[in-house]
Structure 1
């Protein structure tokens, strides 16, 4: 811990880069009041002079009205209708690793169904000994688990395969969130129905208008998949799958079926009409990869970014960001301020969990010169986040999914931040 008498700490606290409190204290009471705000010291602010609303005025609770801009946003031109579209998490406004339930990005294929949990059922059938239908009450009687994991759409960043396009981190990387999920392990339910020896895959189906379905290997189902009914300590929000969804840690978001109603056990993946179209990766030779389930290591700097410029001028700042990997834990994040010529190791902020967002930070003493900010993550499997040039050598320019390359923000001398792409 830094001592209160540490010279470096004193220099930090007295630096003009901190602005606010230092400037007011240095200017004197008269100058502070001249700013036209009667709520500033030494005055008693107006909110201390009257009683506020009572304890039941807002039974559920809402964010402060002063945080009204911390919301999900969509891109109107991205899809034809909102019922089959996506919105984005405001990563630049968040701290820690838990994404509030109301800010988790949404991806729908047929809009959000309004499901009565009393009438909702989960069917498990196919290559099983005892096909069963579970009510929500049935499911909640099984032993429960809680896990913190990220969930990411494989198209996150996909609009930038051919070049920088989106004007902020919310739109370049906002198809990811991280929550605490609670439910029953799928392996527990599969043990209840008895899986036949010939089984190798499951088909999961949602209760939305699209009847969204995905094939998932049985090995993953028996490993760490959770059939979830709660998110961040409360029942899952409707847009995130109420009353029941799959959580498939570290894998493509589209296999995390929302509004889960059916699981069919089989001996091969489904390629006929019973499964909706899979997400595939178009390769340079015209072939397409499928079943590219794992979301590989990725990272992005969330401050500074286009939405969070260096608006206080020269001085001290902290570079902050997030990293994640579907292979496991983030082991290291390096940061470059010169477009990848030189790198420094960032500090990882605990907790560092498997298949979970990890916060990183690095001090920056900015002298006003232009910067090219990049972050590069490595996980405990040995995977290192690639450059866009390295990714294109393997995948080409025509893909949409799994763009996890190193991202670049350009900081201009005026402190504004732009999205750029350098090889």
Structure 2
């Protein structure tokens, strides 16, 4: 309570404070759900919040950075069903799936690229203050600012990134995105890691590289120095012509084409050159098999493909002419061919590959098909430039042998029912 004789200026100041506090309480009370939904970054992927209120300001804002049509509703599917996603109690650390069925070319739009962060929300990194350290078994430890990295010779390469967990599962109701949504393909721009390592001078005896992340769980991954010295391994700051998205590593991430997504660290802060691999927490607890070292798994992902139309969760409106379409990719190089079967694998036809098949990139294929209204089972198989053929579920174990497979690349069958419903046939 105000005492008698309190100056009017103090009374006005307290009244204004109470008004602001009330307004803040109203925002928190009424806007909490909206804020959580925005933080999850899922169903509204690609949408933008427009702050302007006048027509002139609105037009200026849209001209500065465009917005998709209000009729386009494509969005990522948010996952929150794994324990590690709940690690920090932050919905920004949830995983999300690429809507493959809506992707019309080999490039995944950055706002729709899948997310896998082990519960880590994107750190709010000021690019002007961010530093990348090259250290360990090097002659000259180096520290780079983002500006200094951008002054070095850069390259742009189109490559896919696929999560280890992208494995099709049985269950008639499982959709295309649920079985295959942890993959995306972008044009990545950055500096070859080999250039930075050569500048630092790798010491004799060094054989491994450790990528170090600025994420909340301080993740790190070991990978061979030989791969780090290949020209296609990048310290990337660009994704599809603009800065890397925060959920995908802003301002810097590793891109190691053909390797499992777990090695391609986001929010990159350090590159350490070592003699032996580090068995970090995630490598020790989740990514090894038998041997307690990163050597207990294959490095390169194998040939893989999936039909994206018709696919699980979709429906054909009527019998007649359709174009079967899908994507193929492999971590060993380029896709050489894709074959499609419409009778459950008894007979195969070679599909047409659209455009050049780029190494370690998603490749689009298509095949004309006339559906007569009877039940059909559609599936595809990828053949890479080494001659390896995507395995059936029965061939999968022999394909990978005793070591852990770096992804799930079994052939995916889709069953088209007589009423046009498409379901998972695994």
Partner of 2:314: 308
Q: Map of 1:373-384 to 2, 5 A cutoff? A: 373-384=378-389
Q: Distance in 2 between matches of 1:325 and 1:57?
A: 38
- Which among 398, 407, 410 is matched to residue 405 of structure 1? 410
Q: Distance in 1 between matches of 2:183 and 2:141?
A: 35
Q: Distance in 2 between matches of 1:294 and 1:173?
A: 18
The structural deviation recorded for 1:352 is: 1.3
1:354 and 2:359 matched = yes
Q: Distance in 2 between matches of 1:220 and 1:96?
A: 28
Partner of 2:217: 210
Partner of 2:227: 220
The DSSP-based 3-state class of the residue aligned with 2:156 is strand
The DSSP-based 3-state class of the residue aligned with 1:190 is helix
Check whether the contact 2:289–2:297 (CA below 8 A) recurs between aligned residues. no
Superimposed CA distance per residue, residues 372-409 of structure 1 (whole angstroms, 9 cap, x where no aligned partner)? 01000001011110001111456699978521000010
Structure 2 vs 1, CA of residues 246 and 398 (structure 1 numbering), >3 Å: closer, same or farther?
closer
Superimposed CA distance per residue, residues 338-392 of structure 1 (whole angstroms, 9 cap, x where no aligned partner)? 1101111100001310100000000011110001010000010111100011114
Superimposed CA distance per residue, residues 180-199 of structure 1 (whole angstroms, 9 cap, x where no aligned partner)? 01010001001111111111
The structural deviation recorded for 1:54 is: 4.5
The structural deviation recorded for 1:277 is: 3.6
Partner of 1:247: 255
Check whether the contact 1:281–1:401 (CA below 8 A) recurs between aligned residues. no
Check whether the contact 2:220–2:280 (CA below 8 A) recurs between aligned residues. no
Superimposed CA distance per residue, residues 222-243 of structure 1 (whole angstroms, 9 cap, x where no aligned partner)? 0021000100000111011000
- Which among 72, 87, 92 is matched to residue 67 of structure 1? 72
1:365 and 2:370 matched = yes
Structure 2 vs 1, CA of residues 155 and 372 (structure 1 numbering), >3 Å: closer, same or farther?
same
Partner of 1:141: 151
- Which among 169, 174, 187 is matched to residue 180 of structure 1? 187
Partner of 1:21: none
CA RMSD of aligned residues (A): 2.5
1:267 and 2:275 matched = yes
Q: Map of 1:283-294 to 2, 5 A cutoff? A: 290-294=296-300
| Gapped regions of structure 1 (runs ≥ 5) | 1-52
Partner of 1:231: 239
Check whether the contact 1:125–1:131 (CA below 8 A) recurs between aligned residues. yes
1:332 and 2:332 matched = no
Partner of 1:6: none
Partner of 1:87: 96
TM-score, with normalisation over the residues of structure 2?
Answer: 0.80
The structural deviation recorded for 1:74 is: 2.3
- Which among 293, 304, 310 is matched to residue 298 of structure 1? 304
Q: Distance in 2 between matches of 1:353 and 1:303?
A: 22
The structural deviation recorded for 1:288 is: 9.8
Q: Distance in 1 between matches of 2:339 and 2:298?
A: 26
Q: Distance in 2 between matches of 1:334 and 1:359?
A: 12
- Which among 200, 218, 236 is matched to residue 207 of structure 2? 200
The DSSP-based 3-state class of the residue aligned with 2:395 is helix
Greater mean alpha carbon deviation, residues 291-300 or residues 184-193: 291-300
Structure 2 vs 1, CA of residues 61 and 288 (structure 1 numbering), >3 Å: closer, same or farther?
closer
The structural deviation recorded for 1:85 is: 4.0
Partner of 2:80: 76
Structure 2 vs 1, CA of residues 400 and 377 (structure 1 numbering), >3 Å: closer, same or farther?
closer
Check whether the contact 1:154–1:295 (CA below 8 A) recurs between aligned residues. no
The structural deviation recorded for 1:412 is: 0.5
The structural deviation recorded for 1:293 is: 1.7
Q: Distance in 2 between matches of 1:270 and 1:67?
A: 45
Greater mean alpha carbon deviation, residues 202-211 or residues 57-66: 57-66
Q: Distance in 2 between matches of 1:288 and 1:128?
A: 22
Q: Distance in 2 between matches of 1:252 and 1:363?
A: 33
Q: Distance in 2 between matches of 1:396 and 1:291?
A: 10
The structural deviation recorded for 1:166 is: 5.9
Q: Distance in 2 between matches of 1:185 and 1:231?
A: 15
Q: Distance in 1 between matches of 2:203 and 2:295?
A: 29
The structural deviation recorded for 1:164 is: 3.4
TM-score, with normalisation over the residues of structure 1?
Answer: 0.80
| Gapped regions of structure 2 (runs ≥ 5) | 1-57
Check whether the contact 1:150–1:176 (CA below 8 A) recurs between aligned residues. yes
